[in-house]
Structure 1
Amino acid sequence: MEQQGTAGLFLAIIVLFSVCVIMVFLFIIFQKKKNVLLTKQVESQQQFEKEIGESQVEIREQTLRNISWELHDNIGQLLTLAKIQLQSVSDNPENIKDVNDNLTVILNEVRALSKVINPDFIANIKLNQAVQLEIDRFNRLNYIKSDLVIEGEYLDLDAKTEIIIFRILQEFFSNTIKHSRASILNVMMRFTDYELVIIVKDNGIGFNASQNSTSGIGLNNMKKRGALINAEISIESEENKGTQLTITHRFSLNS
């Protein structure tokens, strides 16, 4: 009996020791997986912040380019016209009204530009307002006939999400103006309770997606940035029928 009791105790100790070893082993595995997960989360957050910073810089750079174009193509031409009008006023005093009207337009254009230059203005405007500023500029400078339509109840997004989305749109706009030879650009923002879908279409020359790599128009970069905010990015195009960008951003439960 004493030997059986000793054997049972020894077996119990072995079982207990084995359980402890297994628990320690499982704890170590859990900690390793936890550390890997935390590391990936930190890296993802760092990448997100890096992309936010790069997007902000690119938006500012594009804004400065826009201002340069507007000063040259719009305000410069208006000032040249005002100079010509002033030279003719001495011979035709009745033209003074035209000069006054033109100077009023110039003043309004300068005021509009001063708002865009203000960092606080850019930082505080919403996504729809930022897009509308781009649309208005295209129409004002006769670059392309553009419009913005919003369907559903407009919902404010996280500021960093809006920065990413606006930069994606700005990149597509830039390529449309530079390369598509389009005359029409339509932007639609559709809000539902669970997602925002943005569809941008132009009527430009397009391209054959099966033969032409889309990397040249920044699709890979757009998709990479979209992934940071859980947004799906797709571009569809057909030769001589234009190009369409679709951004689908599904809201998180706590947004």
Structure 2
Amino acid sequence: MRKDEELIVLIVAGTIMLLLLGIFIISFLFFYQKRHNQNTKDKEQLQATFEQELLKAQNEIQEQTLSHISSEIHDNITQVLSFVKLNLAASSKNSSPEAREKINESRTLVAQVINDLRDLSKSLSFEHIKQIGLVKTIELEAERLNRSEIIEIDLSIGGDAHSLGEQRELVLFRIFQETLNNALKHAQATQLKIRLDYFEHLFNLTIQDNGVGFSAGTLPNSGSGLRNIVNRAALIGADAVIDSAPNRGCTIKITIDPLTKQPNADGN
């Protein structure tokens, strides 16, 4: 009888030890998985932060480069062309009527080039964008493009336009420029519809072209520009949605809550 009791005690003790061992193993696996998931999440966060900081640095370098090009156009190239225009004016005084007509035509062309270069210089300058704001900058760019007849721009504004902050407006204008470049270079578009919608707690920038388009959910081989748009939008806490289909053009919609703090951005 005593042996039976000892056997029962051993069985109970063994069972308890197995249960404790099972609990230990389960707890260990649980905490290991939790720690592994946390490490994976931390790595992904570090990678995302690194990519954001890298993109921010690239944007800063790009802005410095564009600012330098803008200054070169404004301070040097346009001055040289102005000098050429003056020389043409001086040459026309002692020329025959036929030559004078040709010279005057050349002066008109040079004057147009000077104006176009000045407009281009302004579109590259952060200071100019900061001074006049997003709406006016896009309006001027649309007018310049419509005059050039390179592409037809249809611009509309909804709601009460207000400042979204210097950094946001700069990035949004660069997104517009990137979209325009894609529409001209890759989509072979002839029309571009741009709409800016200002709501109380929401802002939408919608850009639609009539180009060749591409399959939804995939980027074309030259899709680095579209990826740049998505990455730029993330820099200012905005969402970018790209919708397209073959032979149906492409629509890009940037949505931002102006009250949301900008990640990895200085200023407003």
TM-score, normalised with respect to structure 1? 0.61
From 208, 215, 219, the equivalent of 1:213 is 219
Query: 1:125 Cα deviation (Å)?
Result: 3.7
Change (3 A) 1:113 1:134: closer
Change (3 A) 1:195 1:116: closer
From 195, 204, 210, the equivalent of 1:197 is 204
Please give the residue correspondences for 1:1-255 in structure 2 after superposition, counting only pairs within 5 Å. 50-59=54-63, 61=65, 64=69, 90-92=96-98, 95=101, 101-102=108-109, 104-113=111-120, 115-116=122-123, 120-209=127-216, 212-214=218-220, 216-218=222-224, 219-252=226-259
> What SS does structure 2 have at the residue aligned with 1:241?
coil
Query: 1:189 Cα deviation (Å)?
Result: 0.3
- Is the 1:52–1:163 Cα contact (8 Å) retained in structure 2? no
- Is the 1:135–1:146 Cα contact (8 Å) retained in structure 2? yes
| Partner Cα separation in structure 2 for residue 250 and residue 125 of structure 1 | 22
> What SS does structure 1 have at the residue aligned with 2:149?
coil
- Is the 1:52–1:164 Cα contact (8 Å) retained in structure 2? no
> Which amino acid in 2 is paired with 1:245?
I
Report Cα offsets for 1:81-136 as digits up to 9, x if no partner: x89xx6xx614388376566555544534543554566632443422233234323
Change (3 A) 1:244 1:171: same
Identity of aligned residues (%): 26
> What SS does structure 1 have at the residue aligned with 2:143?
helix
Change (3 A) 1:128 1:216: same
Change (3 A) 1:121 1:110: same
- Is the 1:55–1:167 Cα contact (8 Å) retained in structure 2? no
**Is there any run of 5+ residues in structure 2 with no aligned partner, and where?**
1-37, 262-267
Query: 1:60 Cα deviation (Å)?
Result: 5.7
| Partner Cα separation in structure 1 for residue 179 and residue 146 of structure 2 | 17
Query: 1:161 Cα deviation (Å)?
Result: 1.7
Report Cα offsets for 1:7-41 as digits up to 9, x if no partner: xxxxxxxxxxxxxxxxxxxxxxxxxx9xxx9xx79
Aligned length: 205
Q: CA RMSD in A?
A: 4.1
**Is there any run of 5+ residues in structure 1 with no aligned partner, and where?**
1-32
Change (3 A) 1:240 1:117: closer
| Partner Cα separation in structure 2 for residue 49 and residue 124 of structure 1 | 26
Query: 1:221 Cα deviation (Å)?
Result: 3.5
Change (3 A) 1:207 1:133: same
TM-score, normalised with respect to structure 2? 0.59
